[in-house]
A and B are shown apart, each in its own frame.
Chain A
Amino acid sequence: MTYLADVAALAKKDLLLELRSRDTLPAMLLFVVSTLVVFHFSLPSGSSDIAAAGLLWVAIVFTALLGLTRAFVAEREQRLMDGLVLAPCDRSAIWLAKGLSIVVFLLLAEVVALPAYALFFEPVSGQMVAGILLADLGIASVGTLLAAMAAASRARELLLPLLFLPLAIPVIVGGVGASVADDPARYLGFLGLYDLIFAILSWASFEYVVTE
Protein backbone atom coordinates (compact mmCIF):
# COMPACT_ATOMS: atom_id res chain seq x y z
CA MET A 1 0.00 0.00 0.00
CA THR A 2 2.90 2.30 -0.60
CA TYR A 3 0.85 3.83 -3.41
CA LEU A 4 -1.63 5.22 -0.93
CA ALA A 5 1.19 6.31 1.33
CA ASP A 6 2.66 8.26 -1.59
CA VAL A 7 -0.70 9.83 -2.33
CA ALA A 8 -1.08 10.76 1.32
CA ALA A 9 2.36 12.35 1.49
CA LEU A 10 1.73 14.33 -1.69
CA ALA A 11 -1.77 15.40 -0.71
CA LYS A 12 -0.52 16.52 2.66
CA LYS A 13 2.12 18.57 0.88
CA ASP A 14 -0.47 20.20 -1.37
CA LEU A 15 -2.78 21.12 1.48
CA LEU A 16 0.10 22.34 3.61
CA LEU A 17 1.30 24.57 0.80
CA GLU A 18 -2.13 26.11 0.45
CA LEU A 19 -2.36 26.63 4.18
CA ARG A 20 0.95 28.46 4.14
CA SER A 21 0.49 30.60 1.06
CA ARG A 22 -3.26 31.09 1.37
CA ASP A 23 -3.68 32.48 -2.10
CA THR A 24 -5.86 30.06 -4.00
CA LEU A 25 -8.65 29.25 -1.58
CA PRO A 26 -9.56 32.77 -0.45
CA ALA A 27 -9.60 33.82 -4.09
CA MET A 28 -11.95 30.99 -4.95
CA LEU A 29 -14.30 31.85 -2.09
CA LEU A 30 -14.43 35.50 -2.99
CA PHE A 31 -14.78 34.75 -6.67
CA VAL A 32 -17.75 32.43 -6.30
CA VAL A 33 -19.67 34.89 -4.14
CA SER A 34 -18.86 37.81 -6.43
CA THR A 35 -20.00 35.80 -9.42
CA LEU A 36 -23.30 34.98 -7.78
CA VAL A 37 -23.87 38.64 -7.07
CA VAL A 38 -23.05 39.54 -10.66
CA PHE A 39 -25.51 36.92 -11.82
CA HIS A 40 -28.23 38.49 -9.74
CA PHE A 41 -27.79 41.62 -11.75
CA SER A 42 -27.63 39.82 -15.06
CA LEU A 43 -30.78 37.78 -14.56
CA PRO A 44 -34.00 39.49 -15.52
CA SER A 45 -36.59 39.53 -12.77
CA GLY A 46 -39.04 36.65 -12.78
CA SER A 47 -36.48 34.23 -14.15
CA SER A 48 -37.10 30.59 -13.52
CA ASP A 49 -35.43 28.32 -11.01
CA ILE A 50 -33.66 26.66 -13.84
CA ALA A 51 -31.96 29.86 -14.90
CA ALA A 52 -30.68 30.49 -11.41
CA ALA A 53 -29.51 26.90 -11.01
CA GLY A 54 -27.78 27.12 -14.34
CA LEU A 55 -25.88 30.15 -13.24
CA LEU A 56 -24.83 28.49 -10.02
CA TRP A 57 -23.24 25.77 -12.08
CA VAL A 58 -21.47 28.28 -14.25
CA ALA A 59 -20.14 29.91 -11.10
CA ILE A 60 -18.90 26.58 -9.79
CA VAL A 61 -17.16 25.65 -13.02
CA PHE A 62 -15.40 28.98 -13.29
CA THR A 63 -14.40 28.91 -9.66
CA ALA A 64 -12.98 25.46 -10.26
CA LEU A 65 -11.04 26.86 -13.20
CA LEU A 66 -9.59 29.49 -10.92
CA GLY A 67 -8.39 26.86 -8.52
CA LEU A 68 -7.12 24.55 -11.24
CA THR A 69 -5.10 27.30 -12.85
CA ARG A 70 -3.15 27.59 -9.62
CA ALA A 71 -2.87 23.85 -9.13
CA PHE A 72 0.55 23.28 -10.60
CA VAL A 73 1.98 26.74 -10.19
CA ALA A 74 4.70 25.81 -7.71
CA GLU A 75 5.65 22.77 -9.72
CA ARG A 76 5.91 24.81 -12.85
CA GLU A 77 7.69 27.90 -11.57
CA GLN A 78 10.30 26.08 -9.55
CA ARG A 79 10.51 23.12 -11.92
CA LEU A 80 9.43 20.99 -9.02
CA MET A 81 7.55 18.67 -11.33
CA ASP A 82 10.97 17.30 -12.22
CA GLY A 83 11.59 16.47 -8.59
CA LEU A 84 8.28 14.63 -8.30
CA VAL A 85 8.62 12.84 -11.61
CA LEU A 86 12.11 11.60 -10.73
CA ALA A 87 10.81 9.96 -7.58
CA PRO A 88 10.19 6.22 -7.77
CA CYS A 89 6.50 6.60 -6.98
CA ASP A 90 3.81 6.04 -9.61
CA ARG A 91 3.16 9.30 -11.45
CA SER A 92 -0.57 8.78 -11.20
CA ALA A 93 -0.16 9.25 -7.44
CA ILE A 94 0.71 12.87 -8.20
CA TRP A 95 -2.56 13.17 -10.09
CA LEU A 96 -4.58 11.57 -7.35
CA ALA A 97 -3.07 13.70 -4.61
CA LYS A 98 -3.50 16.93 -6.56
CA GLY A 99 -7.03 15.95 -7.53
CA LEU A 100 -7.94 15.27 -3.92
CA SER A 101 -6.70 18.67 -2.88
CA ILE A 102 -8.74 20.28 -5.66
CA VAL A 103 -11.83 18.44 -4.42
CA VAL A 104 -11.17 19.78 -0.93
CA PHE A 105 -10.88 23.34 -2.27
CA LEU A 106 -14.07 22.93 -4.28
CA LEU A 107 -15.95 21.58 -1.28
CA LEU A 108 -14.82 24.50 0.83
CA ALA A 109 -15.83 26.93 -1.89
CA GLU A 110 -19.24 25.26 -2.11
CA VAL A 111 -19.70 25.46 1.64
CA VAL A 112 -19.64 29.20 1.10
CA ALA A 113 -21.36 29.28 -2.28
CA LEU A 114 -24.43 27.24 -1.44
CA PRO A 115 -25.59 29.31 1.52
CA ALA A 116 -24.96 32.41 -0.57
CA TYR A 117 -27.02 30.91 -3.36
CA ALA A 118 -29.81 30.01 -0.96
CA LEU A 119 -29.74 33.55 0.32
CA PHE A 120 -29.72 35.27 -3.06
CA PHE A 121 -31.83 32.94 -5.15
CA GLU A 122 -33.47 29.66 -4.26
CA PRO A 123 -33.19 27.20 -1.42
CA VAL A 124 -30.75 24.40 -2.04
CA SER A 125 -32.19 20.94 -2.48
CA GLY A 126 -30.67 17.60 -1.58
CA GLN A 127 -30.50 16.56 -5.20
CA MET A 128 -28.54 19.68 -6.00
CA VAL A 129 -25.99 18.85 -3.33
CA ALA A 130 -25.71 15.29 -4.63
CA GLY A 131 -25.12 16.64 -8.11
CA ILE A 132 -22.47 19.03 -6.85
CA LEU A 133 -20.60 16.30 -5.03
CA LEU A 134 -20.52 14.07 -8.08
CA ALA A 135 -19.59 16.95 -10.34
CA ASP A 136 -16.68 17.92 -8.09
CA LEU A 137 -15.11 14.52 -8.67
CA GLY A 138 -15.40 14.80 -12.43
CA ILE A 139 -14.14 18.37 -12.52
CA ALA A 140 -11.17 17.55 -10.32
CA SER A 141 -10.26 14.43 -12.32
CA VAL A 142 -10.24 16.02 -15.72
CA GLY A 143 -9.13 19.42 -14.48
CA THR A 144 -6.01 18.15 -12.76
CA LEU A 145 -4.84 16.36 -15.88
CA LEU A 146 -5.53 19.35 -18.10
CA ALA A 147 -3.86 21.69 -15.62
CA ALA A 148 -0.70 19.61 -15.89
CA MET A 149 -0.91 19.89 -19.67
CA ALA A 150 -1.42 23.62 -19.57
CA ALA A 151 1.47 24.02 -17.13
CA ALA A 152 3.79 22.42 -19.64
CA SER A 153 2.83 24.83 -22.39
CA ARG A 154 3.82 28.40 -23.06
CA ALA A 155 0.31 29.77 -22.84
CA ARG A 156 -0.37 28.35 -19.36
CA GLU A 157 -3.31 30.13 -17.74
CA LEU A 158 -4.75 31.01 -21.10
CA LEU A 159 -4.84 27.46 -22.27
CA LEU A 160 -6.57 25.77 -19.37
CA PRO A 161 -10.07 27.23 -19.90
CA LEU A 162 -9.93 26.34 -23.58
CA LEU A 163 -9.03 22.75 -22.81
CA PHE A 164 -11.40 22.44 -19.91
CA LEU A 165 -14.68 24.01 -20.97
CA PRO A 166 -15.68 21.57 -23.73
CA LEU A 167 -15.10 18.72 -21.29
CA ALA A 168 -17.07 20.57 -18.61
CA ILE A 169 -20.19 20.80 -20.74
CA PRO A 170 -21.47 17.31 -19.86
CA VAL A 171 -20.84 18.06 -16.20
CA ILE A 172 -22.91 21.21 -16.40
CA VAL A 173 -25.72 19.37 -18.15
CA GLY A 174 -25.68 16.64 -15.52
CA GLY A 175 -25.44 19.10 -12.70
CA VAL A 176 -28.22 21.43 -13.80
CA GLY A 177 -30.41 18.45 -14.59
CA ALA A 178 -29.77 16.92 -11.20
CA SER A 179 -30.59 20.24 -9.56
CA VAL A 180 -33.92 20.97 -11.22
CA ALA A 181 -35.33 17.81 -12.76
CA ASP A 182 -38.15 15.86 -11.25
CA ASP A 183 -36.24 12.64 -11.62
CA PRO A 184 -32.67 13.57 -10.78
CA ALA A 185 -31.56 9.95 -10.74
CA ARG A 186 -30.93 9.94 -14.46
CA TYR A 187 -28.67 12.96 -14.28
CA LEU A 188 -26.89 11.76 -11.18
CA GLY A 189 -26.30 8.47 -12.92
CA PHE A 190 -24.90 10.31 -15.90
CA LEU A 191 -22.57 12.30 -13.66
CA GLY A 192 -21.45 9.07 -12.05
CA LEU A 193 -20.72 7.62 -15.48
CA TYR A 194 -18.75 10.70 -16.48
CA ASP A 195 -16.78 10.54 -13.25
CA LEU A 196 -15.97 6.87 -13.68
CA ILE A 197 -14.88 7.08 -17.29
CA PHE A 198 -12.87 10.26 -17.07
CA ALA A 199 -11.31 9.47 -13.72
CA ILE A 200 -9.98 6.20 -15.07
CA LEU A 201 -8.83 7.84 -18.27
CA SER A 202 -7.12 10.70 -16.41
CA TRP A 203 -5.53 8.37 -13.88
CA ALA A 204 -4.13 6.16 -16.61
CA SER A 205 -2.89 8.92 -18.89
CA PHE A 206 -1.38 11.32 -16.34
CA GLU A 207 1.94 9.55 -16.60
CA TYR A 208 2.09 10.32 -20.31
CA VAL A 209 1.35 13.96 -19.79
CA VAL A 210 4.13 14.66 -17.31
CA THR A 211 6.91 12.56 -18.75
CA GLU A 212 8.58 12.24 -22.11
Chain B
Amino acid sequence: MTVIVARGLERRFGSKRVLAGIDLDVPEGAFVVVTGPNGSGKTTLLSLCAGLLAPTKGTLDVRAERRELGYLAHEPLVYRELTALENLELYGRLYRVPERRERIGMLLERFSLWDTRHERVSTFSRGMAQRLAFCRVLLHEPRLLLLDEPYSALDAEASELVDAELRALAAERTVVVSTHDPERLAALATARLALA
Protein backbone atom coordinates (compact mmCIF):
# COMPACT_ATOMS: atom_id res chain seq x y z
CA MET B 1 0.00 0.00 0.00
CA THR B 2 1.33 3.41 -0.88
CA VAL B 3 1.43 5.88 1.92
CA ILE B 4 2.47 9.02 0.03
CA VAL B 5 1.70 9.80 -3.59
CA ALA B 6 2.79 13.05 -5.18
CA ARG B 7 2.51 14.19 -8.79
CA GLY B 8 4.02 17.38 -10.08
CA LEU B 9 4.18 18.71 -6.56
CA GLU B 10 5.11 22.35 -6.39
CA ARG B 11 5.30 24.85 -3.58
CA ARG B 12 6.12 28.48 -3.92
CA PHE B 13 6.46 31.19 -1.28
CA GLY B 14 5.41 34.48 -2.78
CA SER B 15 7.38 34.61 -6.00
CA LYS B 16 9.99 32.09 -4.97
CA ARG B 17 9.50 28.52 -6.09
CA VAL B 18 11.02 26.16 -3.54
CA LEU B 19 9.81 22.82 -4.87
CA ALA B 20 8.91 22.00 -8.42
CA GLY B 21 7.77 18.98 -10.33
CA ILE B 22 8.20 16.45 -7.52
CA ASP B 23 6.82 12.97 -8.12
CA LEU B 24 6.77 10.60 -5.21
CA ASP B 25 5.61 7.09 -4.42
CA VAL B 26 6.35 5.99 -0.90
CA PRO B 27 5.12 2.46 -0.12
CA GLU B 28 4.32 1.22 3.34
CA GLY B 29 7.44 0.29 5.28
CA ALA B 30 9.78 2.33 3.13
CA PHE B 31 12.70 4.33 4.48
CA VAL B 32 13.21 7.36 2.28
CA VAL B 33 16.30 9.51 2.71
CA VAL B 34 15.95 13.03 1.37
CA THR B 35 19.10 14.97 0.65
CA GLY B 36 19.95 18.30 -0.83
CA PRO B 37 21.74 21.54 -0.07
CA ASN B 38 20.27 24.21 2.20
CA GLY B 39 17.28 25.87 0.63
CA SER B 40 16.53 22.97 -1.69
CA GLY B 41 13.17 22.39 -0.08
CA LYS B 42 13.72 19.42 2.26
CA THR B 43 11.86 21.06 5.11
CA THR B 44 9.17 22.26 2.73
CA LEU B 45 8.65 18.76 1.40
CA LEU B 46 8.27 17.32 4.87
CA SER B 47 5.93 20.12 5.92
CA LEU B 48 3.80 19.40 2.86
CA CYS B 49 3.65 15.70 3.70
CA ALA B 50 2.74 16.53 7.29
CA GLY B 51 -0.13 18.67 6.06
CA LEU B 52 1.19 21.92 7.48
CA LEU B 53 1.54 23.39 4.03
CA ALA B 54 -0.69 23.00 1.01
CA PRO B 55 0.76 22.49 -2.45
CA THR B 56 0.53 25.48 -4.79
CA LYS B 57 0.48 23.16 -7.80
CA GLY B 58 0.26 19.45 -8.39
CA THR B 59 -1.22 16.82 -6.13
CA LEU B 60 -0.17 15.26 -2.88
CA ASP B 61 -1.98 12.39 -1.25
CA VAL B 62 -0.83 11.28 2.18
CA ARG B 63 -2.78 8.24 3.26
CA ALA B 64 -2.29 8.65 6.96
CA GLU B 65 -4.50 10.42 9.43
CA ARG B 66 -3.16 13.03 11.77
CA ARG B 67 -3.00 10.63 14.69
CA GLU B 68 -0.86 8.25 12.62
CA LEU B 69 1.64 10.91 11.71
CA GLY B 70 4.76 11.90 13.60
CA TYR B 71 6.60 15.03 12.51
CA LEU B 72 9.99 16.04 13.81
CA ALA B 73 10.52 19.63 12.77
CA HIS B 74 13.47 21.99 13.00
CA GLU B 75 11.99 23.37 16.17
CA PRO B 76 11.29 20.88 18.93
CA LEU B 77 7.67 22.08 19.17
CA VAL B 78 7.60 21.98 22.95
CA TYR B 79 6.55 24.76 25.30
CA ARG B 80 9.58 26.30 26.93
CA GLU B 81 7.80 27.33 30.09
CA LEU B 82 6.37 23.87 30.68
CA THR B 83 8.30 20.94 32.05
CA ALA B 84 9.23 17.97 29.92
CA LEU B 85 6.57 15.94 31.62
CA GLU B 86 3.88 18.57 31.19
CA ASN B 87 4.66 18.89 27.51
CA LEU B 88 4.35 15.17 26.95
CA GLU B 89 1.21 15.07 29.08
CA LEU B 90 -0.37 17.68 26.82
CA TYR B 91 0.56 15.91 23.62
CA GLY B 92 -0.39 12.61 25.16
CA ARG B 93 -3.87 13.89 25.82
CA LEU B 94 -4.27 15.53 22.42
CA TYR B 95 -3.13 12.38 20.66
CA ARG B 96 -5.26 10.21 22.96
CA VAL B 97 -2.33 7.98 23.80
CA PRO B 98 -3.44 4.86 25.68
CA GLU B 99 -1.60 4.20 28.94
CA ARG B 100 -0.23 7.67 28.71
CA ARG B 101 1.74 7.76 31.95
CA GLU B 102 3.58 4.54 31.29
CA ARG B 103 4.40 5.44 27.74
CA ILE B 104 5.70 8.89 28.70
CA GLY B 105 7.83 7.39 31.45
CA MET B 106 9.25 4.80 29.12
CA LEU B 107 10.17 7.35 26.45
CA LEU B 108 11.70 9.79 28.90
CA GLU B 109 13.78 6.96 30.26
CA ARG B 110 14.85 5.81 26.84
CA PHE B 111 16.01 9.28 25.88
CA SER B 112 17.72 9.91 29.24
CA LEU B 113 15.33 12.65 30.26
CA TRP B 114 13.68 10.97 33.21
CA ASP B 115 15.76 12.81 35.78
CA THR B 116 14.97 16.17 34.28
CA ARG B 117 11.31 15.51 33.67
CA HIS B 118 10.22 18.19 36.14
CA GLU B 119 12.50 20.86 34.71
CA ARG B 120 11.27 23.50 32.36
CA VAL B 121 12.33 23.13 28.77
CA SER B 122 13.82 26.62 28.91
CA THR B 123 16.59 25.13 31.06
CA PHE B 124 17.33 22.41 28.53
CA SER B 125 20.19 22.43 26.10
CA ARG B 126 19.39 22.27 22.41
CA GLY B 127 20.26 18.59 22.41
CA MET B 128 17.97 17.82 25.31
CA ALA B 129 15.12 19.68 23.66
CA GLN B 130 15.70 17.68 20.51
CA ARG B 131 15.55 14.47 22.52
CA LEU B 132 12.29 15.64 24.06
CA ALA B 133 11.04 16.32 20.55
CA PHE B 134 11.77 12.69 19.74
CA CYS B 135 9.69 11.63 22.71
CA ARG B 136 6.88 13.82 21.44
CA VAL B 137 7.10 12.33 17.96
CA LEU B 138 7.13 8.72 19.12
CA LEU B 139 4.55 9.14 21.85
CA HIS B 140 1.56 8.02 19.83
CA GLU B 141 3.38 5.30 17.88
CA PRO B 142 2.80 6.87 14.48
CA ARG B 143 2.61 4.82 11.32
CA LEU B 144 4.33 7.45 9.25
CA LEU B 145 7.33 9.37 10.50
CA LEU B 146 8.58 12.56 8.95
CA LEU B 147 11.92 13.57 10.40
CA ASP B 148 13.61 16.82 9.47
CA GLU B 149 17.34 16.50 10.18
CA PRO B 150 16.95 14.34 13.28
CA TYR B 151 20.63 14.46 14.14
CA SER B 152 20.94 18.20 14.41
CA ALA B 153 22.12 19.43 17.81
CA LEU B 154 22.75 15.90 19.07
CA ASP B 155 26.01 14.76 20.62
CA ALA B 156 27.60 11.42 19.79
CA GLU B 157 25.79 9.52 22.50
CA ALA B 158 22.39 10.85 21.58
CA SER B 159 23.10 10.29 17.91
CA GLU B 160 23.72 6.64 18.57
CA LEU B 161 20.46 6.52 20.47
CA VAL B 162 18.71 7.91 17.44
CA ASP B 163 20.50 5.40 15.22
CA ALA B 164 19.10 2.60 17.33
CA GLU B 165 15.63 4.14 17.28
CA LEU B 166 15.66 4.50 13.55
CA ARG B 167 16.80 0.94 13.09
CA ALA B 168 13.86 -0.25 15.18
CA LEU B 169 11.43 2.07 13.42
CA ALA B 170 12.59 1.20 9.92
CA ALA B 171 11.48 -2.34 10.45
CA GLU B 172 7.87 -1.55 11.29
CA ARG B 173 7.02 1.97 10.13
CA THR B 174 7.23 4.17 7.08
CA VAL B 175 9.94 6.79 7.52
CA VAL B 176 10.91 9.83 5.49
CA VAL B 177 14.08 11.48 6.74
CA SER B 178 15.89 14.55 5.54
CA THR B 179 19.53 14.74 6.43
CA HIS B 180 22.87 16.29 5.66
CA ASP B 181 24.56 13.01 6.44
CA PRO B 182 23.04 10.36 4.18
CA GLU B 183 25.84 7.88 4.72
CA ARG B 184 24.76 7.37 8.26
CA LEU B 185 21.41 6.06 7.09
CA ALA B 186 22.66 4.29 3.99
CA ALA B 187 22.09 0.86 5.47
CA LEU B 188 18.46 1.55 6.28
CA ALA B 189 17.46 3.45 3.18
CA THR B 190 15.09 1.79 0.74
CA ALA B 191 14.96 4.86 -1.47
CA ARG B 192 16.67 8.17 -1.88
CA LEU B 193 15.42 11.53 -3.04
CA ALA B 194 17.91 14.19 -3.94
CA LEU B 195 16.51 17.69 -4.19
CA ALA B 196 18.33 20.10 -6.44
Contacts and interface: CB of A to CB of B under 8 A. Distances in A.
Q: Do chains A and B touch in the complex (CB under 8 A)?
A: yes
B81 A86 contact: no
B183 interface: no
B79 A212 contact: no
Interface string A76-89: 00111011111111
A87 B50 CA distance: 11
Interface in A68-99: 74, 78-80, 82-89
A134 to B, nearest CB: 31
A162 interface: no
A82 B86 contact: no
A9 interface: yes
Contacts of B50: 86
Interface string B48-89: 001111100000000001110101010101111110001000
Contacts of A17: 79, 81-82
Contact of B91 (A2, A78, A83): A83
Contacts of A89: 94
Contacts of B79: 13, 17, 74, 78, 80
27 contacts: A5-B93, A10-B90, A13-B79, A13-B86, A16-B82, A16-B86, A17-B79, A17-B81, A17-B82, A20-B81, A74-B80, A78-B79, A78-B80, A79-B77, A82-B73, A82-B75, A83-B78, A83-B91, A83-B136, A86-B66, A86-B69, A86-B71, A87-B66, A88-B67, A88-B96, A89-B94, A212-B53
